[in-house]
Amino acid sequence: MFETTDLNVRNARIQTLFRLLFGLMTGLLILPVLIILSMLTYKGGPALSIDFLWLSPVDGMTAGGIFPALIGTVWLVVVALLVSVPLGVAAAIYLSEYAPDNWLTRVINLAIINLAGVPSIVHALFGVGAFVLFFDFGTSILAASLTLAIMTLPVVIVATRESLQAVPLAFREACWNMGATRWQTIRRVVLPNAVSGILTGVILEVSRTTGETAPIMFTGAVFFTPFLPQGILDQTMAMSLHLFVVSTQVPGVPEELPYGVALVLIAMVLVMNSLSIALRMYLRGRKKW
């Protein structure tokens, strides 16, 4: 009896110790984020105003607002999503549901993993050669978005494949026993139950595409333009490139201006991610398993 009590006390102490250890590790991860956000808010807050969000840069980009860069970033992210999400989901469906387990699929999976580790500057050079020169899209939103889509495609494929494989096999077998085809099973059962996990890949893609600079610097984003893009073949400003420009290339910029741009950029990412997370939680709550 006493040995059992001592064992329970020791286990409770060990559990408390590990809970405190993991809590401390989590706090150490969150602390730098809070420090960065606090610094940006303190130094960039004075720059924020309605005019800052709705006006174009003036006086050699040392004053004015960020509206063209804001709209350009939305263009780039939306077009990249429209390209990469359908393509990534289709590839993941094939690899997860149709492709046999052989040397070819293993090579494809290895290529996807390696593609995720390629530096962004390499993707930029690929985008210049493939989309700007070979397909003759020129430096445009389309070329930049396609480059971003290729760069983030592995994230969508991996997240979708993991979500599809997480759906219980019993769901598929029940459909097959009822006479449903493989595609009917995927479309009506597997995909609806995996959509919340697919959104995880979309969230990661939004975060990365919003903050990338090198791929769009060579393929579609420009130093300055007073006009808003009218289509996907136009050039555009972008928040990430604008932040780089006002921080390093333009003399005489007020100190609060780059911090204000960075604060708005992070706010954009947080808003987009929050909407995606809210949708994911809603869809996950509708699961029956």
Name the residue with higher pLDDT: 21 or 282. Answer: 21
Q: What is the pLDDT of residue 287?
A: 62
Contact present, 221 and 69 (Cβ < 8 Å): no
Distance CA 1, CA 56 (A): 77
Q: What is the pLDDT of residue 108?
A: 87
SS3 100: coil
Q: Which of 147-161, 239-253, 267-281 has the lowest mean pLDDT?
A: 267-281
Cα dist from 35 to 30, 43, 97, 139, 239, whole Å: 9, 12, 45, 37, 22
Which residue type is seen at 268?
A: M
Contact present, 276 and 199 (Cβ < 8 Å): yes
Site of tokens 């609060």: 256
Distance CA 143, CA 106 (A): 30
Using CB atoms within 10 A of its CB, is residue 285 exposed (0-12), middle (13-18) or buried (19+)? Answer: exposed
Domain boundaries, the chain: 69-285
Distance CA 76, CA 241 (A): 12
Q: What is the pLDDT of residue 198?
A: 85
SS3 48: coil
Average pLDDT rounded to a whole number, residues 150-171 = 88
Q: Quickly state the pLDDT bin for 251 (edges 50, 70, 90).
A: confident
63 DSSP β-pair partners: 58
Q: Quickly state the pLDDT bin for 182 (edges 50, 70, 90).
A: confident
Between CA 260 and CA 136, with CA 201 as vertex, the angle to 5 degrees is 75
CATH architecture under which domain 69-285 falls: Orthogonal Bundle (1.10)
Which tokens belong to 149?
Answer: 């889509």
